[in-house]
Copies of this chain bind each other. A is one copy, B any other.
Amino acid sequence: MENQGQGPHARVLESLGPAITSGEHPPGSVLRTEELEQRFEVSRTVIREVIRVLESMHLVASRRRVGVTVLPAEEWNVYDPRVIRWRLAGSDRPRQLRSLTVLRLAVEPVAAGLAARQATPAQCAELTEHALGMVATSRGGQLEAYLGHDVAFHRTVLRASGNEMFARLGDVVEAVLTGRTRHQVMFADPDPAAVTLHVRVAEAVREHDAARAEELTRRIATGAMAELDILAP
């Protein structure tokens, strides 16, 4: 186990959490506190606090006289950034990436439309900067730099929408984009069409053309969706 960063709490959490989301502890199985104490060689305090956190993510439910029960996946707080991270690291990564991309497909176009109406000049400038950054790094295997601009671009759109719920999905987008770059198409340069679309979205937002920003963003997301289906149909 390479899990020894920070303290016992984080170590146990980052070990137990993924173990649950990956199905290593299937729904319905029970974990007793004492057993976990021994397994991780920590005190009850730590185990109990970890359990409380997992409980708050609806990964487990603790009941007296029975133990800590793993809940079915439908109950999980799938919007918790940690749950997302754990699932993306696990075996059902493809399925998870698909779910998240569909979510993007729903949210980002609407967010772009809102951004076109109310983005500040500073945010418009930021958008343009990152779009151009994507253009500049789209060739020659500068994938990490490209990824940085891509993530920043989408984060800015979500933030500029002025909706806090959208803004908090920045982490989700980052997880999706990072996952895609790191694990699937690390070899290939980005699709030039997608790069162009980003530039045009930045333009549309700057010109307060909500309908166009929405439509163009929908095309970006649709492209991302298609890409997934091509890679793992």
Contact = CB atoms under 8 A, between A and B. Distances in A.
Interface residues of A, number: 34
A61 to B, nearest CB: 13
A78 B168 contact: yes
Given A77-B80, A79-B77, A103 B56 contact: no
Q: Within the oligomer, what is the number of copies of this chain?
A: 2
Interface of A is mostly: helix
A107 B164 CA distance: 15
A211 to B, nearest CB: 14
A144 interface: no
Contact of A102 (B48, B114, B168): B114
B107 A74 contact: no
Given A52-B52, A52-B53, A56-B53, A168 B107 contact: no
Interface string A40-59: 00000100110011011100
A196 interface: no
A144 B48 CA distance: 40
A86 interface: no
A56 B83 CA distance: 11
Interface in A72-97: 73-74, 77-82
Contacts of A73: 164
Contact of A99 (B45, B109, B110, B164): B164
Interface string A154-169: 0000000001111110
Given A53-B55, A99-B163, A107-B107, 7 more contacts: A49-B49, A56-B57, A74-B164, A78-B168, A80-B80, A103-B163, A103-B165
24 contacts: A9-B52, A45-B48, A49-B52, A52-B53, A53-B53, A53-B56, A56-B56, A73-B164, A74-B167, A77-B80, A77-B81, A77-B168, A78-B165, A79-B165, A99-B164, A100-B165, A102-B114, A102-B166, A103-B107, A103-B165, A103-B166, A105-B110, A106-B110, A106-B166
